[in-house]
Amino acid sequence: MNSSSQSSDVLLAARISVRYGDKPAVLRDVELDLRTGEVLGLVGQSGSGKSTLAMTILGLLDRKRAQVEGTIQFLGHNLVGLSESELRELRGRKIALVLQSPLSSLNPALKIRTQLKEAWKAHASGTAPECDTAIENALKSVSLSASDEFLRKYPSQMSVGQAQRVLIAMAILHRPALLIADEATSALDVITQSEILALFRELNRTTSMAILYISHDLASVAGICDRIAILHEGQILELAAAQQVLTNPQHEYTQRLMAALPRVPQPQTVSPQSSAAAAGRK
């Protein structure tokens, strides 16, 4: 949530419809603009089309089954029209993805160092020391140790929170302009979840990388987004400043989402006099 998020520079402009096979469209006339440096929350219940939107942006939809109509403008390209090799060039370098289950996204048979090196080499051709420096910097920015001891670990030797940090480090190695986090904290326990959310916010603040933060859970995105888009059955119902969506939702569906948020019951406040009186009554 840095100052650049106030600017209206559009980093990505999607105008798309997507259908799988001959079934009804899963995304219908979706219009979504992401501004440079902003954190945009994309919230909707399971099946609303969130991952389909992420995969369309990344060009990872099954080309045989999925039909995409429309355009996605990003850094001078229309992503919808790019070839597989052009997309591969952008993926991981300009647009990165972090998914839900860190342990299954990492290769269990390879040390962390090897996986980070491979991710670096996919888009860079520098020297070994340059690679080490990039890895060290990325690990530092996700508050992980770049020690030899840590880099020699296998995924199974890490906590799930550490594994998610490694994946985020991998995603930001090439300083992408856009990070897509698809339910990136949904599988984590609440404490790890809030730490990783804080990390995303910190990364956005320090690197001005834009983040498309996808979640089924409005409560979890509330604290980190500049704006929130509500997706329902393949359509964006509402897209506004996070504060507005949370305090003054316009669409009836968003109002229902807000009403369904769990609230922590407040303990009854007991004034000193009343507790003294209660003690006296015993």
Binding to Mg ion by CB under 5 A, coded x per residue (else -) over 50-69, reads xx------------------
Least separation in angstroms between residue 221's CB and Mg ion is 14
Cα separation values, 83 from 14, 26, 89, Å: 18, 23, 10
Q: Which does 164 bind (CB under 5 to 8 A by kind): Mg ion, ligand ADP, none?
A: none
Contacts of 257 by beta carbon, 8 Å cutoff, 6+ apart:
43, 218, 230, 249
Where does 63-189 have alpha helices with state H? 84-90, 102-105, 112-121, 128-141, 148-151, 160-172
Least separation in angstroms between residue 101's CB and Mg ion is 12
Query: Closest CB to Mg ion among 51 and 164?
Result: 51
Least separation in angstroms between residue 259's CB and ligand ADP is 21
Query: Closest CB to ligand ADP among 26 and 34?
Result: 26
Least separation in angstroms between residue 49's CB and ligand ADP is 4
Neighbours of 121 (CB within 10 A): 11
**CB-nearest residue to Mg ion:** 51
Query: Closest CB to ligand ADP among 63 and 121?
Result: 63
DSSP state of 48: S
Query: Closest CB to ligand ADP among 9 and 69?
Result: 69
Binding to Mg ion (CB under 5 A) within 34-53 occurs at 50-51
**In 3-state terms, what secondary structure has residue 162?**
helix
Q: Of these, 20, 150, 154, 253, which contacts ligand ADP (CB under 6 A)?
A: 20
Query: Closest CB to ligand ADP among 28 and 113?
Result: 28
- For residue 17, give both structure tokens: 């419809």
Neighbours of 216 (CB within 10 A): 15
Contacts of 118 by beta carbon, 8 Å cutoff, 6+ apart:
110
First to last CA, the chain: 54
Least separation in angstroms between residue 178's CB and Mg ion is 18
Query: Closest CB to ligand ADP among 57 and 169?
Result: 57
Contact present, 70 and 14 (Cβ < 8 Å): yes
Contact present, 19 and 70 (Cβ < 8 Å): no
Contact present, 198 and 220 (Cβ < 8 Å): no
Query: Closest CB to ligand ADP among 50 and 117?
Result: 50
111: phi > 0 → left, psi -120 to 50 → alpha, else beta; which? beta
Least separation in angstroms between residue 100's CB and Mg ion is 8
Rounded to a whole number of angstroms, the CA Rg of the chain reads 21
Binding to ligand ADP by CB under 6 A, coded x per residue (else -) over 36-55, reads --------x-xxxxxxx---
Binding to ligand ADP (CB under 6 A) within 52-111 occurs at 52, 62, 65
26 lines the binding site for ligand ADP (CB under 6 A): yes
Residues of this chain that bind Mg ion (CB under 5 A):
50-51
Residues of this chain that bind ligand ADP (CB under 6 A):
20, 26, 44, 46-52, 62, 65
